Amino acid sequence: MSKQLKPLIIFGSAEMATLARYYFENDTARKIVAHTVDDKFIDTPEFKGLPLVPFSKITEEFPPSDFDMFVALSYTKLNCLRQEKFIQAKDAGYTLPSYICSKGVTWPDLNVGENCFILENQTIQPTVTIGDNVIIWSGNHIGHGSNIKDHGYIASHVVISGNCSIGKRCFLGVNATVKDFTTIADDCFIAMDASVTNHMPEGSIAIGNSATILEAEDRRARVLKKRYFNI
């Protein structure tokens, strides 16, 4: 007999929280019972028909022995705010389940940490590891052997090729591309449409996607064709 899942509290009362609630309610067996936010943001006792509880009182009203929590925050402060609240929820004793949309392609060896939010139409190849508190929006490709570390945010239609390492708190914008065997250090920002072909040091930013066109007889073209295709 499968273990019954605990009801779920969602940390947040904005767009991200609304979306997380929709996915959990419509694609999992989780019952959502309340929302919580920091005390200073409480201006109403309810959020979309459920109790909105100050975080300072959440363990009294919804103790971690009986309830789990999901931190539904976006990429504010380059994901640092979501990391901070993730740690606070863990310290309060809550288990933070991950959501992986049923409408995607994954393999049984996929290793995913806590409080991840992985939306539909993913292609996640074998031997991929995803850390804690990672958001992966819809329609991405994550190549085999890649490692996505904690607290990152990957927007839609990103291609992470095989055997890449993406550091903590990184943000990858829509349509970004990362070449295979590339290491992205912590706290990097890869802008929309950027193409990353070299390792990125900590805190760096990648922008730009314009291609350089080489004529067939250009020496550089011949070198590249030989390197990649042995011709």
Predicted confidence at residue 211, as pLDDT, reads 65
Query: What domains lie within the chain, and their CATH numbers?
Result: 8-91 (3.40.50), 99-226 (2.160.10.10)
| Measured distance CA(100)–CA(118) in Å, rounded | 5
Q: Is the dihedral of CA 98, 103, 107, 108 positive or negative?
A: positive
pLDDT digits (tens, 9 = 90+) for 81-101: 999 999 999 999 999 999 999
166 alpha carbon, distance to own chain's centre: 11
pLDDT reading at 1 higher than 80: no
Per-residue pLDDT reduced to its tens digit, 112-157 = 999 999 999 999 999 999 999 999 999 999 999 999 999 999 999 9
At residue 20, does pLDDT exceed 50?
Answer: yes
Looking at the whole model, is its pTM more than 0.85?
yes
Cβ pair 124, 147 in contact under 8 A: no
Confidence of residue 228 (pLDDT cuts 50, 70, 90): confident
Give the residue ranges of DSSP H helices in the chain. Answer: 15-27, 58-61, 80-91, 219-229
Q: Which two tokens stand for residue 132?
A: 């804690």
Nearest to 106 by CA among 95, 94, 122: 122
Which tokens hold the place of 58? 């959440």
